[in-house]
Amino acid sequence: MPVVRSSEAVVHEVHGARFVSYASPRSGSKELCAWRAEIPAGHRAPVHTVDREEVIHLLSGELLVTLDGRTERITAGDTVIITPGATLGIENPTQEAALSWVTTSIGLRAELADGSVLTPEWAN
């Protein structure tokens, strides 16, 4: 039975946020990726468009999530489902870090507003 211990999770820091990868091809997953995202207080992530479905479940804190131009405040326990082709913006307007659990299928790519493409290691 594959078990990824917290001490074995791989940490990535990109665009001012921290992504702690638990499930990926590197850890033995064949179809899905899962990670904890740590969004610091006052942080605004770059707006990006994803090419795969992504699910964000907020574990603690609160975030402003903008999906295709519509902004919602989400709080701990809320889940956001992002469809392929959606444009996503995430902001933490509070004084505390927000923690979320994110899942997607292997191979996720994100195109940033400047046209650059991010292929995150934790999702490939």
CA 67 to chain CA centroid, Å, is 13
- Please report the pLDDT score of residue 118 as a whole number: 92
What is the tens place of the pLDDT at every residue in 16-64? Answer: 999 999 999 999 999 999 999 999 999 999 999 999 999 999 999 999 9
Residue pair 61/46 in contact by the 8 Å Cβ criterion: no
- The mean pLDDT value of the chain amounts to 96
The full set of domain ranges for the chain reads 8-123
Please, which residues bridge with residue 89 across strands?
Answer: 66
Q: What's the CATH superfamily of 8-123?
A: Jelly Rolls (2.60.120.10)
